[in-house]
Structure 1
Amino acid sequence: METRVERVKRDIEIISSFNATPGRGYTRFSYSPEDRMAREYLLEQFYGLGLQVKVDGVGNIRARWQGKDPEKPSIMIGSHLDTVLHGGKFDGVLGVVAALEVVRVLNEQQVRLEVPVEIIVFAEEEGSNFGSVCAGSKALTGRYSIQDLKRIKNPEGLSMYQAAEKFGLKPERLSRELLRPDEVQAMLELHIEQGGVLDSLKIPIGIVEAIAGSKWLRVEIEGIPNHAGATPMGMRKDPMTAAAQIIAEIDKIVREKAFATTVGTVGKFDCQPNIPNCIPEKVIFIVDLRDVNPLGIAIAEREITTRIKEITAAHEVRASIEVVGESDAIRLSDRIAGVIEDVAKEKGINYIRMNSGAVHDSSLLAGVTEVGMIFVPSIDGRSHVPEEATRYEDIQVGCDLLLATTLRLAGEQS
C-alpha cells in the first residue's frame, strides 16, 4: 500500500497559492484571508472523504476517519497551515497534506482499522502573527487559557482572542474543547527537517528522538536621542553601540560557554526613531535560545544577562530584559520511534535518529499522548525562506513511512 506523491504535490501547490506575498516567498498568517482559503480547500477534501470534522475555538481542525470501534482513542496525524513572513511552502503544510493522503489511501483501499485516524490541522504554530509559537496546540492542550489568548496580540494590537472571533470562531468555548488523554493514543507528524543534516548525509528519513526547548528574551536598551552630527562621541549615550556589542557577545557566549547543542539567534531588531541623522533613543531585539538540554539555555541566559548589565553600564544606557516566550525540551516516545524504525528497516529505508532544533506542535501533545516525528530532508538546510524545498522523491518516502507507521500502530491496538 503506497501513497501517491503527485496528489501530495498538487495539494501543496494549491495551498501555497493562497499567499499574501506572491513573488516574495509564501505568507499565510492564521486568521488571514489566505488562511481562510487554505482551510476551505482542506475542508472540501475532508468532507469529500466523509470525515467527521470539528473546528475548535481557536481554529484547530480535527477531521476524523472512523475505525471499526469509534469509541477507541484515535491515532492523530497532521501539522500546521500557517507560515512565517516570506517563508516557504513545505513547512507544516507537508505534514497536513501527508495526513490527508494517508486517509485518502485508507479510503480508496477500503481499509477499516480497529481505531479511528484523526487528521489534525493546528492554528498559529509559527507565532508570526501573535508572537507566541504553537499557540493553537497550547490552547488545545490546556497550556493557554482564555486570558492568554486575550493577552497575546499582533502588531496592530488585536489579540488572538479578538482575531479568532473576527474570523468567525468561538474562543470562549476553549475550556470545553481541550484534547483529553482518553481521546488519542498516539500523535504522528511528518515534517521537513529545516536543517541540513539529512541533506548533507543524503539520507531520506530522520526519526526524531527529542525536540529542543526554547526561550525568547526581549531586550530593550534605552539611551538619549540626539543630533548625529552635533553630539561629540564622548558625550553620547547611544543604545545602538551597546546593542551591537551585546549581539556580538551573544554569539560568543553561545559558542564558548553553553553546550554544543545550544544555539542562539538575534533575528528581530527594532531601532527607534530609525532615522539616519539621529542617535537612537531605543533599541529592541529578541534573543532566541534553544537546546535539547535545558541547562544549556539556562547557562546562555545567565551569561547573556550578565553581559547586558556590564555593557549597558559601560555605555551609560538602561536595559530591561523580559522573557516573552518559552517552551520545554521534550523527549518523544521511545516506543513510537521504535515502531517507525522497525517499519523503515522492513522497507529498506535509510534513516538516522536525530533531534529537532525547531519547536513543533507535537512537543505540546507529548504532554497528552505518545508522540513520534518523521523528518524528510530540507535541500541545503534552507527553511523559513522562499528557497525552502524538499525533493518529492523524499516526500514519497516520508508519506509511505507515515502510512505504514499509522497502520502498524493501529494494528498494535487491534
Structure 2
Amino acid sequence: MAFSIDRDRLIKELEDLGRFNRTPEEGVTRFSFSPEDGMAREYLLSIFASMGLKVSVDGAGNMRARLEGSDPDAPAVLSGSHIDTVLHGGCYDGTVGTLGALEAVRAIAESDLPHRHPIEVIVFSEEEGSNFGSTLSGSKALVGKYSLEDMENLKDPEGKSMAEMARDAGYEPETMADFLLRPGDIRAMVELHVEQSVVLESMGVPVGIVEAVAGIRVVEIRMKGTANHAGATPMTLRRDPLVAAAHIMAQIETLARGSGTGTTVATVGKIACFPNVSNIIPGEIRFTVEIRDVKAAGIQSVLDGISALAPAIAASRDISLEIISVSDSDPVQLDGDIASLSEECAAKRDIPCVRMNSGAVHDACMLAPIVATGMLFIPSRGGRSHVPEEYSDPDDIEKGVSLLADVLYELAR
C-alpha cells in the first residue's frame, strides 16, 4: 500500500498551530497549561472531531485521539509527540510529530483499508520542561514515573505546581492513576520527530531510523579556594579555584573522545564564579558536566576520568572539591523489529534512510520500557532547533509522514 499524504494540508496545519504563540515575531513560545496551549488544543480537538476520532485527556493533560480498528478490544498502535515549546522556540520541534501522526492516521482513514488494531494520535504535555525544569513530565506521569505527589511537588519559579497548573487548565490530576499506561495496553508506539542535529542534512538523507536514545548524566563540580586581591596577591601564594577548574574543563573533551564507545559527548554548559568581580581572585567555582551516550560504558568512562583527575588537580592547588550528582537517566534501546519494519517500508517507497542514534531525549524514551517503541527522524536545516530559525523542508516532512503512515498501518493490520 502507499498512503496519500496531503502535504499542503499538513504544512497549513503546522503554520496554523504556530500562530498560538506568546511571542509573535520572536519565535514560538507555547508552554504547557498556558492560554496558548489551550487554544492549540482546541484547534486539534476541532480536527479530531471532524475525523470522528474518540478523544480522551488524562490528569496531566496528555491527549489521545483514537481511530477504531475492526477489533476495538485489540491493543492500540500509538503515534504522536508534543506541542509545547521552549521560550522563543520554533514551529517544528514536537509539532511535526504530532501533526504528522494526525496526517498519517487521516491518510489511513481516508484509504478505507481495513486494520484490526485501533490507531491513536497522542499529544504529550510538558515535554520540554519549560514550566518546571523537568523534561518529559507528561509522559512520565502517563507511565507512572510521576505520581500525583510528584505533580504537587514539581513547581515553576513562582511556586505554582504542575498539579495546580493542570487543574487551572481544566484537567484532573487526581484521576491520573486511572490513565496509567501498562504493558499490554498498547501494541506499539512510533514517534516522528525533527532530528535537532546535522547528521541527516550532512548525509543528504531524508529519514533516520532511530535505534537508541542517549542516556544523560549531569554532575556539578564545586571548587573552593581563597578570594583575595587580584593585584596584591603573588601568583605563588594564590588558591585560585577558577584556574583549577579550567584544568579540569580542558580535559572533558579528551575524556569523551577517549571513552572507547565512539558515541560519547560531554559538555561544560553552566559556570558560576564567586564573587565574579574582575579585580578579585575567585573564591568559589561551580560548573556542570553533562555526559551523554547510547552506551552506559561511555558515560561511566567519563565519570571515572573526572573522579580520577579532579581530586588530583584540586589537591595540587590546595583547592577543596565536591562532585555532586544532579541527574541521571539510562540509555534507551528502541525496538529492533520496528526499526526493521521502518527500513522495509522505506525501501518500498524508495525513501533513502539511515540507522542512527538520538542524542536528545524524547517522550518515546518513557514508553520504550513498557511497549515496543520506534522513532523516525527527518532533517533539521542547519541542525538548528529550539530557536526561531528552526526549519524542516516540506519534502522531508512529507517523506517522513508517508513512511510513518506505512509503518503504523503495518503495525495495526
TM-score normalized with structure 1 length: 0.90
Q: Deviations over 1:331-355 (max 9, x none)?
A: 2112111211111111111111122
- Offset of residue 276 of structure 1: 5.0
Residue of structure 2 equivalent to 1:327: 329
Of the three residues 363, 366, 376, the one matched with 1:364 is: 366
Residue of structure 2 equivalent to 1:82: 84
Secondary structure (helix, strand or coil) at the match of 2:81 reads strand
User: 1:123 is aligned with what amino acid?
Assistant: S
Residue of structure 1 equivalent to 2:263: 261
Map 1:399-414; keep pairs closer than 5 Å. Answer: 399-411=401-413
Secondary structure (helix, strand or coil) at the match of 1:336 reads helix
Distance 1:5 1:279, change over 3 A: farther
Deviating more after overlay: 107-116 vs 53-62: 107-116
Map 1:1-400; keep pairs closer than 5 Å. Answer: 1-223=3-225, 237-271=239-273, 274=276, 282-400=284-402
- Offset of residue 145 of structure 1: 2.6
User: 1:64 is aligned with what amino acid?
Assistant: R
- Offset of residue 202 of structure 1: 1.0
Structure 2 unaligned runs (5+)? none
Distance across 1 between alignment mates of 2:12 and 2:53? 21
Deviating more after overlay: 157-166 vs 228-237: 228-237
- Offset of residue 199 of structure 1: 1.0
The answer to whether the Cα contact below 8 Å between 1:83 and 1:126 also exists between their aligned partners in 2 is: yes
The answer to whether the Cα contact below 8 Å between 1:258 and 1:297 also exists between their aligned partners in 2 is: no
Distance 1:164 1:323, change over 3 A: farther
The answer to whether the Cα contact below 8 Å between 1:132 and 1:325 also exists between their aligned partners in 2 is: no
Deviating more after overlay: 148-157 vs 222-231: 222-231
The answer to whether the Cα contact below 8 Å between 2:108 and 2:409 also exists between their aligned partners in 1 is: no
Distance 1:11 1:321, change over 3 A: farther
Distance across 2 between alignment mates of 1:226 and 1:47? 68
- Offset of residue 238 of structure 1: 4.4
Distance 1:238 1:336, change over 3 A: same
Distance 1:35 1:317, change over 3 A: farther
Distance across 2 between alignment mates of 1:309 and 1:158? 40
Secondary structure (helix, strand or coil) at the match of 1:182 reads coil
Structure 1 unaligned runs (5+)? none
User: 1:154 is aligned with what amino acid?
Assistant: D
- Offset of residue 246 of structure 1: 2.9
Secondary structure (helix, strand or coil) at the match of 1:154 reads coil
Distance across 2 between alignment mates of 1:369 and 1:296? 26
- Offset of residue 319 of structure 1: 3.8
Percent of aligned positions that are identical: 47
- Offset of residue 219 of structure 1: 3.3
Distance across 1 between alignment mates of 2:79 and 2:399? 16
Distance across 1 between alignment mates of 2:21 and 2:242? 35
- Offset of residue 402 of structure 1: 0.6
- Offset of residue 15 of structure 1: 2.1
Deviating more after overlay: 14-23 vs 324-333: 14-23
Distance across 2 between alignment mates of 1:312 and 1:169? 51
User: 2:140 is aligned with what amino acid?
Assistant: K
Distance across 2 between alignment mates of 1:227 and 1:162? 49
The answer to whether the Cα contact below 8 Å between 1:258 and 1:300 also exists between their aligned partners in 2 is: no
The answer to whether the Cα contact below 8 Å between 1:67 and 1:116 also exists between their aligned partners in 2 is: yes
Distance across 2 between alignment mates of 1:166 and 1:314? 55
Q: Deviations over 1:218-264 (max 9, x none)?
A: 33444555666666656655444444333222222212345310011
Distance across 1 between alignment mates of 2:10 and 2:184? 31
- Offset of residue 395 of structure 1: 0.6
Distance 1:321 1:123, change over 3 A: farther
Number of corresponding residues: 411
Q: Deviations over 1:14-55 (max 9, x none)?
A: 222333344443333323333233222222222332222222
RMSD, aligned CA:
2.5
Q: Deviations over 1:258-317 (max 9, x none)?
A: 531001122334445555565555544332211111010011112123333333444444
